A and B are shown apart, each in its own frame.
Chain A
Amino acid sequence: NAGVTQTPKFQVLKTGQSMTLQCAQDMNHEYMSWYRQDPGMGLRLIHYSVGAGITDQGEVPNGYNVSRSTTEDFPLRLLSAAPSQTSVYFCASSYDAGTISTGELFFGEGSRLTVL
């Protein structure tokens, strides 16, 4: 059971480039989300999805797009990378509305992005 898998683990981009961070889970979780983690700040929610075909914005959505065509996958797209998007990105999932209502999340190992 792999859990939540993120790729790539490391990426360096130049300002203005675009890329996609991949996230896949094999736990049949309905809820999936993307967070960014920056020094001195808590995890901040970028986008989330409560099921296939449904996405919504979190706290810091600007500059990012998501889609959810299947239950398993939830890619995060950076449209035009900026140095302010240098961060560690985490994908997290939860079984359903019940467990997300209590804040129980399963995290991937993270994708470390540097934008020059």
Chain B
Amino acid sequence: QKEVEQDPGPLSVPEGAIVSLNCTYSNSAFQYFMWYRQYSRKGPELLMYTYSSGNKEDGRFTAQVDKSSKYISLFIRDSQPSDSATYLCAMKGNKLVFGAGTILRVKS
């Protein structure tokens, strides 16, 4: 069983929709939770990170961590075609572990 599970998608939504991307994990030692965005043929770039449980908002993006359920989410409001990318979750305890990524397609 993988330490971090992420649905590969693709997730296809119309422009303006609210997008929910999710990861589950099994390692209780994870304390830092991150979302990276990766455009096609590019390297990942850090989008957001949160420490422990709770919500963090940055513009149209909200990251949510529920440590009791071992579940993290990234919400994108008013999604745009430019949000089309692969979204990788990542978690850090004594090591950094990445999810395999979810492909998001926002159609105009």
Residues of A within 8 A of B (CB): 4, 40-45, 90, 92, 100-110
Q: Kindly list chain B residues whose C-beta atoms are within 8 Å of the C-beta of A4.
A: 43
| Tally of contacts, chain A with chain B, CB under 8 A | 55
A106 to B42 Cα, complex, angstroms: 12
List the interface of chain B (C-beta within 8 A of A).
2, 4, 6, 8, 32, 34, 41-46, 49, 51, 88, 90-92, 95-101
Q: Can you list 15 A-B pairs, Cβ within 8 angstroms, ordered by A?
A: A4-B43, A41-B100, A42-B6, A42-B97, A42-B100, A43-B44, A44-B98, A45-B95, A90-B44, A100-B96, A101-B32, A103-B92, A103-B96, A105-B44, A110-B43
The interface residues of chain A, by DSSP majority, are classed as: loop
For A101, the chain B residues whose CB sits under 8 A away are: 32, 92
Q: How far is the CB of B46 from chain A (nearest CB, A)?
A: 6
Q: Looking at the complex, which one of B4, B43, B95, B96 makes contact with A107 (CB distance below 8 Å)? A: B43
